[in-house]
A = this chain, B = another copy of it.
């Protein structure tokens, strides 16, 4: 452990930002990050340090907060800037920060698509320029680690896509799925995924003792899943539901195999695919992970049950939407960018 890096965190006012702050403050190879807040992000003038935003951090996370400007970040000498900003803010700021010579990890959806038009259609915002989308690395290290050490821009994936793509890729790459019969991705998430802004949908009384599906056929994470699994949009159905819990995603995935398989084969396929990737854990055939096993961690846990006919397969993929689904994955990407072992500070 010879050196320590320093990063800037821009916009750490929400749940993801809080998680990111905690991970970076504890990271053994990071100096205390520089926290920048945008004008208006906090009307409150009294925010001078992170503990003013998150009283949980009193006494150990009293890191100062600075007013954001591209110049201030560029002048700060940080190795990487992490953006925990809304899509429209990232859309404008990422090119400016890159132009100022910074490396960037963006947690928004703005640069996740090869073709900026996909972003435009699903997010109803202007398309990002191809100059940037072409050079962005989709930050799912288990699939695209090779591009990270040199990456100037990393687009940190969505929470649901991380859970779904990691579960489907081994089977898809092996060519074992009868995709034409349809692939169903029934996903459930905790409420931190819906953001910190008070809304009718996140009022305690609307969530507690309740459960509901939302955004069916219209969820913005759909094109990410399609782009990184390569399935025909007409064969994959992706739905999302809101769980009365704070954090965690569980995706139940239904695939028909194109030939009968044994459980051992499937388990072996997954173990081989994720060999050497410490943040994906494969469960023994017939055992399924639960949200409690991954909450508060950076793990994505994968398990499955195969029907007696060897063709109907139910996969369960679990992760923490603030961990592997957002802030933890950003740190994992950062580790790759800085040539650290990918799980540094993530256990």
Contact = CB atoms under 8 A, between A and B. Distances in A.
A291 B209 contact: yes
A293 B204 contact: no
Nearest to A247: B209
Interface stretch (A5-13, A87-95, A122-130, A235-243): A235-243
* Interface bracket on A: 35 or more
The residue in A191, A246, A296 that gathers the most chain B C-beta atoms within 10 A of its C-beta is: A246
Given A182-B181, A243-B243, A293 B59 contact: no
B15 A292 contact: no
A245 interface: yes
A46 to B, nearest CB: 12
A16 to B, nearest CB: 12
Nearest to A15: B205
A58 B281 contact: yes
A257 to B, nearest CB: 12
**Chain B CB within 10 A, most for which of A216, A293, A299:** A216
A67 interface: no
B209 A198 contact: no
A291 B211 contact: yes
A191 B210 CA distance: 13
Interface string A37-59: 00000000000000000011011
Contact of A191 (B15, B204, B294): B204
Contact of A213 (B237, B288, B309): B288
B209 A248 contact: yes
A267 interface: no
Contacts of A182: 181-182, 254, 256, 312
Given A209-B295, A292-B206, A254 B281 contact: no
Contacts of A301: 58
B188 A205 contact: no
Contacts of A252: 186, 213, 239, 241
A296 B293 contact: no
A200 B292 CA distance: 14
A198 B203 contact: yes
A248 to B, nearest CB: 7
Given A56-B292, A237-B314, A243-B244, 14 more contacts: A56-B294, A58-B293, A184-B254, A202-B205, A203-B203, A206-B292, A208-B245, A209-B245, A209-B246, A209-B247, A209-B292, A211-B245, A234-B311, A237-B307
17 contacts: A60-B278, A181-B182, A182-B256, A186-B186, A188-B211, A191-B205, A202-B203, A204-B207, A209-B245, A210-B248, A210-B290, A212-B290, A212-B292, A213-B314, A217-B307, A234-B312, A237-B314
